[in-house]
Amino acid sequence: MKAPKTGVMLVGWGGNNGTTFTGGILANKHNITWHNKKGEQTPNYYGSITQASTTKIGCRGTEEVYLPLNKIMPFVDPNELVIGGWDISNMNLAQAMRRAEVLDYNLIEKLTPYMEKMVPLKAVYYKDFIAANQETRADNILNNANKMEDVEQIRKDIREFKKANDLDKVVILWTANTERFCKVEAGVHDTAENLMKAVENNHPEVSSSTIYAIASILENTTYINGSPQNTLVPGVIELAKKNDVFIVGDDFKSGQTKIKTALADFFINAGIKQESVVSYNHLGNNDGRNLSSEAQFKSKEISKKSCIDDILASNKVLFPHSIKIDHEIIIKYVPFTGDSKKAIDEYMSSIFLNGNHTLVLYNVCEDSLLAAPIILDLILIAEMFERIWYKIGDQKEFTRFNKVLSTLGYLCKAPLTDVDCPLVNSLGRQKEGLNNIFKACAGLHCDDNTLLEFKCPVQKQNDSKQTQENQQVSA
């Protein structure tokens, strides 16, 4: 199966994530080496599950056999991605990369000739939705009379980008500032028809991220929401279904939350009752600056707080009536920290005979270096699902997965699901589910980790007997 020529358009292209992602792709594509205090460095895709993780495909004798995901499924080659996008700042990508202060200086110097030619398109900017402190960066914005004109301009940008680069398809991904939650209203956000009317009427509670989602869907282009705000309101979901377009959300799951969902799984499966989770972090990048505003922080708080609810609810022995734990989120802006986010988590639990157990973690998360490979995976996996069709039993027509692509929940803090789909936050279950879908598509057995072929003597005897019979037949 030949992979299609694919482009990605990032909303917030000139931010820390966008420049790090673009620089990483270019470094790998051109095999750029650079020096830092540890010596010569070479590019890689560490942190990407499509490029740097493996999954078991079976056994050869007593040896388990593993393959990288990109050897099981024909993903688009990340080095072949064509990158573009929008930003409220008019800096070219080389200038923006320097401003971000994420990559090593020597690598920045080597990437500059490639990235100084990359300039973001003018972006939709509704200043009520992001922190006031971002206004000084907003020198590259659309000045249309109403929101429907903004939709049409973004649609035009997508079409022109696709044509100019001779692309088969494009994926749109939001990696811009966290917005405040929009106030979801009946008659405005509840249906696709009402939402489009609200756009035409310039309704103040239609956010800029929702404008991008609408434009993306109308251009038959998958849309991924990498921030915690409620971009994908019911009207957007209905519009996606009507147009047979995938949507994915919400919020990249990169560091602190990924560990939190893994630990919640561990505690619950060990029969240990979580009583308190306190998550503190401080960071000094522009994301932290934006989150220093209360309305934008609330969006992030909701995303971070909801990530373990379904895991706790799965154990009615520990939580027989309701889930009630103390769960607090604190985020502080400390400019000197830069992109190296410092996270401290305290987990308190009840154990045997009502004793107390406390676990404290200190975690330095290189924010954009962790987010960039997740952005890559979201793009590659979402694109792959556009090419997967299936039918069940005697079903005459092939069909595709649900338009709300909850299968990508492993990569999201607050996985968006359709109304009739269970919410799964457990990190292990999310990854196993994704791996098994890909293995099924490749005609491989799904792994249940029972290893019965090694644990059941009867099975071994039968296998041995069958082997002897086969040898006799061969003779």
pLDDT digits (tens, 9 = 90+) for 194-227: 999 999 999 999 999 999 999 999 999 999 999 9
Q: Average pLDDT of 250-256?
A: 88
What is the residue whose two structure tokens read 């997740």? 374
User: What percent of the chain is modeled with pLDDT above 90?
Assistant: 75
Q: Which of 341, 345, 367, 377 is catalytic?
A: 341
Q: Average pLDDT of 83-107?
A: 98
pLDDT recorded at residue 464? 55
Instruction: Report the C-alpha gap between 205 and 410 in whole angstroms.
Output: 30
Sign of the Cα torsion 425, 427, 433, 437 reads positive
Structurally, what CATH architecture does the domain formed by 6-252+369-439 represent? Answer: 3-Layer(aba) Sandwich (3.40)
Helix H, strand E, coil C: the string for 235-280 is HHHHHHHHCCCCEECCCECCCHHHHHHHHHHHHHHCCCEEEEEEEE
Q: Which of 110, 122, 258, 413 is catalytic?
A: 413
Question: Does residue 251 have an active-site annotation?
Answer: yes
Of 239-243, 416-420, 443-447, 449-453, which range is least confident? Answer: 449-453
| The pLDDT of residue 465 is above 60 | no
Q: Average pLDDT of 230-257?
A: 94
The answer to whether the pTM exceeds 0.85 is yes
Q: Average pLDDT of 179-191?
A: 95
Question: Does residue 38 have an active-site annotation?
Answer: no
The residue ranking higher by pLDDT, 339 or 166, is 166
Q: Average pLDDT of 450-455?
A: 83
DSSP 447: P
Q: Which of 147, 162, 273, 300 is catalytic?
A: 300
pLDDT digits (tens, 9 = 90+) for 263-289: 999 999 999 999 999 999 898 888 888
Question: Does residue 150 have an active-site annotation?
Answer: no
pLDDT digits (tens, 9 = 90+) for 8-31: 999 999 999 999 999 999 999 999
Instruction: Report the C-alpha gap between 336 and 330 in whole angstroms.
Output: 18
Taking alpha carbons only, the member of 369, 284, 298 closest to residue 330 is: 298
| CATH class of the region 256-366 | alpha beta
Q: How confident is the model at residue 231 (pLDDT cuts 50, 70, 90)?
A: very high
Extents of the domains making up the chain: 6-252+369-439, 256-366
Q: Which of 251, 339, 345, 367 is catalytic?
A: 251
In degrees, rounded to 5, the angle at the alpha carbon of residue 192 between the alpha carbons of residues 410 and 155 is 75
